[in-house]
């Protein structure tokens, strides 16, 4: 049975959006410093018709990971009555926090963790298409986080059994879809093979990519990832080079657009 749009969005939020917090903690010097020596678990939980879904942010003295599922004893709990309310918070809906926001527990036991978590959530707004980075460092972070999120989200769509994505991946032999930015440490890929997918970081080394989307710079990647420029126009302007099959490159671009729509 296919997931509803809200179910699919929550899967993307929990399994693709939350994990890129690690990029912020690793690459943003201020965020990294703020979480030095911090330990605690922050649970996001939303009710669904088949039971609660969620994921837990785990901070461990500067290290960070995401545990899928429900931890019954987190240090801080964000609990939502519906998937849509949780999704809307990550979509940046202006009414999400004051009217539809989470019930929070754990404030009195670890107030510092709450404050730092809100700092992380505010930082995640950088992923929104409308967010305009004010410094080259923030621009670099936005592009890196966005590409890492998108490559993982594409795999999660397939793992969730999305009909269109499943039909597309099932017909393919082993293929690599690669994204990178020239001259930067930004690269990720999606491996597709007979209906299965796996997202990864860096340049895939074992075989040539079937499709490689190469952005000429961080600055030129921004309008493409913000959907301000379509791929054809971006290629014409020299903002991006699409090496490989134009048909399959265009199709994966369609899936990327769908992810953007689910999260907006």
215 has pLDDT over 60: yes
pLDDT of residue 99: 34
pLDDT of residue 105: 58
State how far the alpha carbon of 140 is from the alpha carbons of 34, 144, 173, in Å.
20, 6, 33
96 has pLDDT over 80: no
**Domain spanning 5-127, CATH class:** alpha beta
Digit-coded pLDDT (tens) for 108-155:
556 678 888 989 999 999 999 889 999 999 999 999 999 999 999 999
107 has pLDDT over 80: no
pLDDT bucket at 94, cuts 50 / 70 / 90: low
First vs last C-alpha separation in the chain: 24
pLDDT of residue 233: 86
Instruction: For domain 136-262, give the CATH number.
Output: 3.30.1050.10
Digit-coded pLDDT (tens) for 149-202:
999 999 999 999 999 999 999 999 999 999 999 999 999 999 999 999 999 999
Which has the higher per-residue pLDDT, 99 or 253? 253
Digit-coded pLDDT (tens) for 35-63:
988 899 999 999 999 899 999 999 998 89
Domain residue ranges in the chain:
5-127, 136-262
User: Looking at residues 67-81, what average pLDDT do you find?
Assistant: 91
Instruction: Please give the angle made by the CA atoms of 77, 82 and 83, to the nearest 5 degrees.
Output: 90
How far is the C-alpha of 233 from the C-alpha of 224, rounded, in Å? 9
pLDDT of residue 230: 79
């Amino acid at each position: 049975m296919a997931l509803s749009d809200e179910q699919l969005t929550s899967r993307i939020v929990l399994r693709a959006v939350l994990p890129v917090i690690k990029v912020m903690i690793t690459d943003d010097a201020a965020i990294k410093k703020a979480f030095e020596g911090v330990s605690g678990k922050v649970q996001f939980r939303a009710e669904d018709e088949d039971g609660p879904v969620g994921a837990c942010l785990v901070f461990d003295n500067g290290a960070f990971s995401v545990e899928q599922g429900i931890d019954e004893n987190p240090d801080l709990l964000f609990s939502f009555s519906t998937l849509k309310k949780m999704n809307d918070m990550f979509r940046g809906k202006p009414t999400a926090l004051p009217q539809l926001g989470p019930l929070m527990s754990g404030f009195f036991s670890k107030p510092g963790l709450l404050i730092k978590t809100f700092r992380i959530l505010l930082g995640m707004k950088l992923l929104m298409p409308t967010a305009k980075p004010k410094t080259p460092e923030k621009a670099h972070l936005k592009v890196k986080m966005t590409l890492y999120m998108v490559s993982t989200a594409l795999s999660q769509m397939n793992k969730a059994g999305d009909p269109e994505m499943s039909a597309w991946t099932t017909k393919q032999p082993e293929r690599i879809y690669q994204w990178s930015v020239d001259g930067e440490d930004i690269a990720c890929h999606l491996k597709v093979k007979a209906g299965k997918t796996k997202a990864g970081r860096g340049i895939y080394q074992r075989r040539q990519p079937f499709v490689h989307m190469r952005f000429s710079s961080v600055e030129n990647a921004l309008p493409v990832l913000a959907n301000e420029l379509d791929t054809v126009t971006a290629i014409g302007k020299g903002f991006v080079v699409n090496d490989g099959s134009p048909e399959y490159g265009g199709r994966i671009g369609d899936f990327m657009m769908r992810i953007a729509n689910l999260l907006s």
